Amino acid sequence: MINKILVGNRISALRKNKKLSQNILADEMGVTTQAVSKWETGLALPDVEILINMSHFFNIPINEILEGKNIISKIANRVYEMNEIAYFVPEKERDYNDEWAKDIKDGNWIKKNWEWNKSNIEARLHIAKRVISHSGLILEIGTGPGGGYMPAILLEKPDSEIIISDLSPTVVLEWKKLFENEFFPPNVHYVALDNCDLPFYDNSIDVISAGGGFGNTEGDKFKALIEIYRVLKPGGLYITGDGFVTGEMLKSLPEKAQKVLLEKRPDIFEDYYEATVTAGFKTIDNIIRGGWSTENDQSTIADLARELGVVLKFSGYLRCCIK
């Protein structure tokens, strides 16, 4: 079924990108301004003849106006399953992740975090503007229940072309469910994937955004960096905000907690700057800024910290890398 609100948002975005008023678009389509307003608010759809004219005027296929771009099929380097979202990993949630995924749904964490982002947009507005100024297709990796930088990007520019991705299908499906019921961003794509094996062609993505998503990568993080570099276009931007636990913080923890953390999550003690250079990035702006703790976090490392009865404090950084 065609979503009238999403169609309206696409028409509105196309019009604004050409810097046209509703009056001018109405004149071009031979309709009233009120008709354009009804399209853009999802109260009505253009008829077939007008859709044909609109397709020629904006130089895009009619199906892109009605259903959006099929970006994933154009950049995917392998076959995938499509069932509400694109699956490059199994549709079933990983067994060890079932309880966490259930809590994400039952606790309505996606909705709560979206509301938090709306109320705290200023905190990440400068990052969103940096991403938007680079323009093009954006891939948010490890979106998670918090959304990474994606919420700030969409709140600043709702028609951004962005792929919401995560290893957890539940997370991706919950973001899709939210945006199909409110906000209605017209150019969002939903993908379950593994950061260590990005399913896209070389040089196919303009911006990769990771607002905490890189740190939560499961598997070899250096391999993930190699993949990030591979799929970025030349001149593409990789922007990541993450953190690490200092050696001083580690030494302050009980001996048992130190041992378990070093065995299970040695990655949290690494800032990956040298690995980023080794991956191929030549221009790297690195800013050490603030930090956070696992106290009120929903990540897997926060769950482990709670099991151990400790609170981990991370030193934060923002890193902007150009391929």
The amino acid at residue 235 is G
Amino acid at the residue 173: L
Q: Which CATH architecture has domain 71-322?
A: 3-Layer(aba) Sandwich (3.40)
Over residues 28-85, the pLDDT tens digits come to 999 999 999 999 999 999 999 999 999 999 999 999 999 999 999 999 999 999 999 9
Give every strand in the sheet of 205-211, ordered side by side. 81-83, 85-87, 188-192, 162-166, 138-140, 205-211, 232-244, 313-322, 283-293
What residue spans define the domains of the chain? Answer: 4-67, 71-322
**pTM for the structure as a whole:** 0.89
Instruction: In whole angstroms, give the CA distance from residue 176 to residue 197.
Output: 23
Phi first, then psi: give them for residue 252, nearest 5 degrees. Answer: -80, -10
Instruction: Look at residue 315 and tell me whether its pLDDT is greater than 80.
Output: yes
pLDDT in tens, 112-163: 999 999 999 998 999 999 999 999 999 999 999 999 999 999 999 999 999 9
- Number of separate helices (H) and strands (E) present in the chain: 16, 9
Asked if pLDDT for residue 13 goes beyond 80, the answer is yes
pLDDT score for 215: 87
> For residue 167, what pLDDT is reported?
98
d(CA 8, CA 183): 12
Q: What is the structure's pLDDT at 180?
A: 92
Burial status of residue 176 (CB atoms within 10 A of its CB: 0-12, 13-18, 19 or more): middle
Q: Which residue has the higher pLDDT, 111 or 123?
A: 111
The answer on pLDDT for 299 being more than 90 is no
Question: CA torsion sign, 288 to 294 to 299 to 304?
Answer: positive
Please give the sequence-ordered ranges of beta strands (E in DSSP) within 60-128, or none if there are none: 81-83, 85-87
Q: What is the pLDDT of residues 230-285, one digit of tens each?
A: 999 999 999 999 889 999 999 999 999 999 999 999 989 988 999 999 999 989 99
pLDDT number for residue 284 = 96
CB atoms within 10 A of CB 53: 15
> Cβ contacts of residue 291 below 8 Å, gap of 6+?
243, 313, 314, 315, 316
Question: Any idea what DSSP says for residue 66?
Answer: H
| Whether pLDDT at 86 is above 80 | yes
4-67 CATH: 1.10.260.40
Task: Give the C-alpha separation, 105 to 213, whole Å.
Answer: 19
